[in-house]
């Protein structure tokens, strides 16, 4: 827990509250997962480790349906009616653009009314209220709390607070972690996985179901298969402090035959951390750590071997005293993408970035944006669809979406099938 009492000062109630959850936080993830579910559904979304591959498939399927339904007025009206009776609190006390706005848009798609606290100086926390009292207040007015904090484990502690309230017969609502310290960002990992799922369908067109360029690619890459399994994923930049990297790498490790390559300086702050390395090794994932895109793996330079590349920025807001001076002695230019590097990548390999990218550092220069492999803007939009799917799942309306979709589009499918057989007849 990052909030430790300062020596010789009595701890604040906030610190005591956090310490109160310490022993529950220290348990292995496997023990915690059942407490974060109700009737085999996610109740609180705290770690990416809560998602199974089957859940990821189901969420992507719901997201695809929401995406298609949103194109028609009748589909939009249906979606809006689903959770019209629900209210969400977006408690974002750490800066955010995409996560905040895409959650808000996701709520709006499903008819959920949103409210927000982004600046704790406008809340009663300045009058001495603890975060846990604030959270309990939110739960009395809202049906869902989506929260981002610079404190690692705060969202997890709040989920336990809600469970305790529930056990004592009090009102309790789901908690969704929208980024907690340098620790976890499970819904970013969801949208990253969704973007990879869509990329590795190798289908053309916006709805991505009809025409495919898979066979064409297979001529150049005979080993290529659809889906996320048996692929090589590269993560470049600030691996040590990137919560999105931690969450995504832990999810990717659930897919068969993946190789994860971390391209980062050999520095304890920026390189892969021991806990993530251990998790990957325990799961038997082939994990490699290199310092440059030109280092070779099995005789091939890393940049040429990747099926997907996840770029990150250097998270300088987390610098400890002395870090800036230390990083000035490292050649960080090796962790920037260039047009020359992109030209050497596989023709289909998507380039992802959780964003924001840093215009001063320039890990992805804008001239790469027009490359068809540059996926980061689509990735951000995918966040809205997959977060809608997640909310639909938490509130148990995903089956209604599937049913409506089936009823609405079965006619369309029959029409198309009839047209296809008529044209081949
Ligand atoms: C990331 C975050 O906040 O962790 N951004 C995001 O949520 N899209 C990554 C970052 O800030 O570098």
pLDDT digits (tens, 9 = 90+) for 344-380: 999 999 999 999 999 999 999 999 999 999 999 999 9
Between 62 and 95, the higher pLDDT residue: 62
CA 200–ligand 1 middle distance (angstroms): 24
Q: Report the residue among 354, 363, 383 best suited for mutation to probe ligand 1: largest number of ligand atoms under 8 A from its CB.
A: 354
| pLDDT value of position 128 | 83
Report pLDDT for 261.
98
CATH number of 205-371: 3.40.50.1370
Q: Separation of 249 CA from ligand 1 center, angstroms?
A: 15
Q: Is 99 in the pocket of ligand 1 (CB under 6 A)?
A: yes
CA 244 to centroid of ligand 1, rounded, Å: 7
Question: For a pLDDT cut of 70, what percent of the chain falls above it?
Answer: 93
Q: Calculate how far, in angstroms, residue 351's C-alpha sits from the geometric centre of ligand 1.
A: 16
Tokens 């068809």 correspond to what residue?
372
Q: What is the pLDDT of residue 12?
A: 83
CA of 317 to the centre of ligand 1 (A): 12
- State what percent of residues in the chain have pLDDT above 90: 82
For the record, the structure tokens of 359 come out as: 């215009």
State the pLDDT at residue 1. Answer: 44
Ligand 1 neighbour 355 (Cβ under 6 A)? yes
- Mean pLDDT in residue range 280-289: 97
**What CATH number has the domain spanning 13-185+384-396?**
3.40.50.1370
The residue whose CA has the least distance to atom 7 of ligand 1 is: 99
Angle between helices 398-424 and 53-69 (to 10 degrees): 70
Predicted confidence band of residue 77 (pLDDT cuts 50, 70, 90): very high
Please tell me if the domain spanning 13-185+384-396 has the same topology as the one spanning 205-371: yes
Q: Is the pLDDT of residue 121 over 70?
A: yes
**CB-ligand 1 contact for 188 (6 Å cutoff):** yes
Closest CA to 383 of 148, 104, 99: 99
383 CB within 6 A, ligand 1: no
CA distances from 341 to 95, 149, 168, 329 (A): 31, 35, 58, 23
Q: What is the pTM for the complete model shown?
A: 0.92
| Per-domain residue ranges of the chain | 13-185+384-396, 205-371
| Residue 73 DSSP code | H
Residue having the nearest C-alpha atom to atom 6 of ligand 1: 354
Is the beta carbon of 98 within 6 A of some atom in ligand 1?
yes
CB of 353 sitting under 6 A from ligand 1: no
What integer best gives the mean pLDDT of the chain?
A: 92
Distance 423 CA to ligand 1 centre (A): 49
């Amino acid at each position: 827990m990052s909030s430790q009492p300062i020596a010789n000062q009595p701890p604040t109630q906030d610190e005591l509250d956090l310490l109160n959850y310490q022993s529950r936080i220290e348990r292995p993830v496997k023990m915690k997962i059942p407490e974060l579910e109700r009737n085999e559904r996610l109740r609180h979304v705290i770690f990416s480790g809560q998602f199974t591959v089957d859940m990821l498939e189901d969420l992507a399927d719901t997201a695809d349906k929401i995406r298609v339904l949103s194109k028609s007025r009748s589909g939009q009206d249906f979606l809006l009616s689903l959770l019209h009776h629900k209210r969400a609190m977006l408690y974002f006390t750490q800066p955010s653009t995409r996560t905040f706005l895409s959650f808000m848009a996701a709520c709006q798609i499903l008819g959920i009314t949103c409210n927000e606290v982004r600046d704790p100086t406008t809340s009663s926390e300045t009058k001495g209220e603890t975060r846990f009292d604030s959270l309990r207040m939110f739960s009395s007015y809202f049906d869902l709390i989506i929260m981002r904090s610079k404190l690692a484990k705060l969202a997890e502690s709040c989920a336990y607070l809600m469970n305790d309230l529930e056990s004592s017969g009090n009102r309790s609502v789901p908690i969704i972690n929208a980024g907690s310290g340098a620790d976890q960002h499970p819904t970013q990992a969801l949208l990253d996985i969704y973007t990879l799922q869509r990329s590795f369908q190798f289908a053309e067109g916006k709805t991505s179901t009809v025409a495919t360029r898979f066979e064409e690619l297979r001529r150049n890459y005979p080993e290529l298969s659809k889906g996320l399994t048996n692929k090589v994923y590269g993560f470049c930049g600030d691996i040590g402090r990137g919560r999105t990297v931690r969450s995504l790498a832990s999810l990717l490790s659930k897919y068969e035959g993946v190789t994860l390559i971390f391209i980062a300086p050999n520095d304890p702050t920026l390189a892969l951390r021991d806990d993530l390395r251990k998790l990957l090794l325990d799961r038997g994932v082939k994990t490699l750590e290199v310092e440059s895109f030109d280092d070779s793996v099995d005789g091939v330079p890393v940049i040429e071997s990747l099926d997907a590349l996840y770029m990150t920025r250097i998270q300088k807001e987390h610098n400890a005293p002395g870090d800036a001076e230390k990083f000035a002695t490292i050649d960080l230019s090796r962790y920037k993408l260039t047009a020359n590097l992109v030209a050497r990548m596989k023709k289909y390999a998507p380039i992802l970035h959780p964003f924001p990218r840093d215009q001063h550092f320039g890990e992805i220069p804008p001239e790469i944006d027009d490359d068809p492999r540059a996926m980061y803007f689509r990735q951000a939009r995918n966040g809205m669809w997959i977060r809608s799917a997640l909310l639909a799942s938490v509130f148990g309306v995903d089956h209604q979406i599937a049913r409506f979709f089936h009823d609405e589009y079965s006619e369309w499918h029959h029409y198309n099938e009839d047209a296809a057989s008529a044209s081949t007849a």
